[in-house]
Amino acid sequence: MKCFRYYKDKCKTKRGSNSAPELQNQRKQKNLVLDRVTKSSDSFPSPRSIPELYREKEHNLRVFTFQELRDATNGFNRLLKIGEGGFGSVYKGTIRPPDGQVVAIKKLNRDGSQGHKEWLAEVQFLGVVNHPNLVKLLGYCCVDGERGMQRLLVYEFMPNMSLEDHLFNRALPILPWKTRLQIMLGVAQGLAYLHGGLEVQVIYRDFKSSNVLLDNNFQPKLSDFGLAREGPTGDRTHVSTAPVGTYGYAAPEYVELGRLTIHSDIWGFGVVLYEILTGRRALERNRPTGEQKLLVWVKQYPTDSKRFSMIIDPRLGKQYSVGAAREIAKLADSCLDKNPKDRPAISQVVQSLKQAIEYSEEPSTSKNMTSKSSQSKLIRKVK
Ligand SMILES: Nc1ncnc2c1ncn2[C@@H]1O[C@H](COP(=O)(O)OP(=O)(O)OP(=O)(O)O)[C@@H](O)[C@H]1O
Ligand SMILES: [Mg+2]
C-alpha cells in the first residue's frame, strides 16, 4: 500500500542536518556548540538528540560505494527486485567476497530533498537503535555526482517477506493464529523499545503490516524509519507536523490536527490487530462501500455481540477460540480509542499479548478466555 506523502513538515528538525551522514563530521564541532547553547537554559541535562547519538555510533555503519552496490545487484537487475515502496525499489543483493553477505538494498528514486530527508532519518535512527525486533541497517551509500544524487540503504536481508504478504497473499499458506499473535508481540516489543527504551523517545510513525518483516522462524522486525521522529521534549505534549504516513493506519488526531505522539503509533497497532483478526487490509477499494474501510466495517460487529465471529478471517478455520479473538478485538478497540491518552501504553499491549499467547497455547484454558474472570484479567491490564 502506498503512502500519502505530502511533505509540508512545518516543524523543522532543529538539530537534524540535511547533509549526508559522512558530511556531518565536518559540522560536528559547530553543531555541538549550537546544541549546548540551545540547551543552556535547561536546568537539568536534556536527553541527547538522535543526530547526537548517531555521531557516537556512526562508525558501526559501513559506507558502500555505488559500484559495490551495483555489483551486489548485478546492475540493479530487475530479477533481483524484491519490492517497491514510496521511497524506491528494494533489491536482494550479495556483497562481493570476502564479505559475501546477502543483503537488502533500498535505492531511492531520485526525487530531490524530501527523499534525502527520509534517507537521512533512516540512517540516523537505524544507526542508533539496536533491538532484535528492529531491522538492522548495515550501511549506506550517498553520492552526489554529475548525474544526480544516489541514496541507498543496505539492510540485513529478511528472507520471509512481510506480515502484509503472509496475511493477504492468497498464494502463501495461511498464517496460523498463534504465529499472528507472536508476530504482534514481537513488534510490540520493538515499539516498546522505541517508546521507552532509549535516551530519546522515538515515534515510529508508519506502523503497518508491510513494514513488519519476517525471518524464516517468523520472528518479526520493524523496518522503514524514514518517517520516524523524536518525541516531544520538555513541556510539549506532542510534535506538530503535517501528516505523513499511510491511509488507513494513521491516527485521527494526527491526520486532522497534525498532532503526533507515541499514542499515534498505538492507533496503527490497533489497525494491524484488526488486520490479523480479519485477514482484511486496512483499506480495500475493491470491496462494497461499507466494507472498504476496515475500522468502519468491524464496528458493525461489536466484540460483545453474537455477530462478532463473522469478522474473523475465514482462512483460520477452527484454530482459534472465539473468546481469545474477542480479547484481541477488545485490545484493538482500546488502541483505537479516539482520545489518544486513553489508549494503552505499548508496555500494556505487550503484557496483554503475552497473556493471549499463553491462553492460545493451552487449548483447555483458551476456551476459558470466554469466562468472565479471565476476560477481566486481560482487560484490567490493558486499561
Ligand atoms: N531488509 C529487507 N529484507 C528483505 N526484504 C525487504 C527488506 N526491506 C524491504 N524489503 C521488501 O521490500 C518491500 C518494499 O519495502 P518498502 O519499505 O520500500 O515499501 P512498503 O513498506 O511496501 O511501502 P512504503 O514505502 O509505503 O512503506 C517490502 O514489503 C519487503 O518485501
Ligand atoms: Mg515499508
Residue with CA closest to ligand 1 atom 20: 85
Query: Is the shortest distance between the CB of 212 and ligand 1 below 6 Å?
Result: no
How many Å apart are CA 120 and CA 112, to the nearest integer? Answer: 13
For residue 40, is pLDDT > 90?
A: no
Q: Are 286 and 255 in contact (CB under 8 A)?
A: no
Break the chain into its structural domains and give their ranges.
Answer: 26-156, 163-382
Query: Is the shortest distance between the CB of 155 and ligand 1 below 6 Å?
Result: yes
Residue 103 CA to ligand 1 center (angstroms) comes to: 13
Residue 43 CA to ligand 2 center (angstroms) comes to: 40
How many Å apart are CA 364 and CA 371, to the nearest integer? Answer: 12
- The whole-number pLDDT of residue 232 equals 84
- The whole-number pLDDT of residue 87 equals 85
Residue with CA closest to ligand 1 atom 16: 85
Residue 380 CA to ligand 1 center (angstroms) comes to: 36
What number does the ligand 1 atom closest to the CA of 90 have?
A: 12
Among 375, 377, 381, residue whose Cα is nearest residue 345: 381
Residue with CA closest to ligand 1 atom 14: 83
Q: Is 144 a catalytic residue?
A: no
**Predicted confidence (pLDDT) per residue in 99-155, tens digit:** 899 999 999 986 667 788 889 999 999 999 999 999 999 999 999 887 788 999 999
Query: Is the shortest distance between the CB of 249 and ligand 1 below 6 Å?
Result: no
Q: Is 233 left (phi over 0), alpha (psi -120 to 50) or beta?
A: beta
Q: Which three cell numbers stand for residue 53?
A: 547519538
For residue 202, is pLDDT > 50?
A: yes
Residue 345 CA to ligand 1 center (angstroms) comes to: 27
> Exposure pattern of 213-252 as b/e (b: 16+ CB <10 Å)?
bbeeebebbbbbbbbbbbbbeeeeebbebebbbbebbbbe
Percent of the chain at pLDDT exceeding 70? 81
- On whether 107 is known to bind a ligand per the annotation, the reply is yes
> In sequence order, what are the residues at sequence separation of 6 or more whose Cβ sits closer than 8 angstroms to the Cβ of residue 235?
none
What number does the ligand 1 atom closest to the CA of 87 have?
A: 25
Domain 26-156 matches domain 163-382 at the CATH topology level:
no
Ligand 1 pocket test, pick from 213, 249, 272, 283 with the greatest ligand atom count within 8 Å of Cβ, gives: 213
Q: Is the dihedral of CA 369, 375, 379, 381 positive or negative?
A: negative
Class of domain 163-382: mainly alpha
Q: Angle formed by the axes of helices 346-361 and 177-196, to 10°?
A: 160
Preceding peptide of 98 cis, ω within 30°: yes
Ligand with minimal distance to 221 CA = 1
Which of helix, strand or coil describes residue 146?
Answer: coil
Higher pLDDT, 267 or 84: 267
Predicted TM-score (pTM) of this structure: 0.84
Q: What is the CB neighbour count within 10 angstroms for residue 306?
A: 8
Q: What is the CB neighbour count within 10 angstroms for residue 289?
A: 7
Q: Are 205 and 244 in contact (CB under 8 A)?
A: yes
Ligand 1 pocket test, pick from 108, 187, 224 with the greatest ligand atom count within 8 Å of Cβ, gives: 224
Catalytic residue among 206, 224, 313, 333: 206
Tell the CATH topology of 26-156: Phosphorylase Kinase; domain 1 (3.30.200)
For residue 81, is pLDDT > 90?
A: yes
How many Å apart are CA 157 and CA 102, to the nearest integer? Answer: 6
Residue 354 CA to ligand 1 center (angstroms) comes to: 27
Higher pLDDT, 66 or 246: 66
**Predicted confidence (pLDDT) per residue in 332-370, tens digit:** 999 999 999 999 999 999 999 999 998 877 654 444 444
Q: Give the alpha-carbon dihedral of 350, 304, 310, 360, to 10 degrees.
A: 40
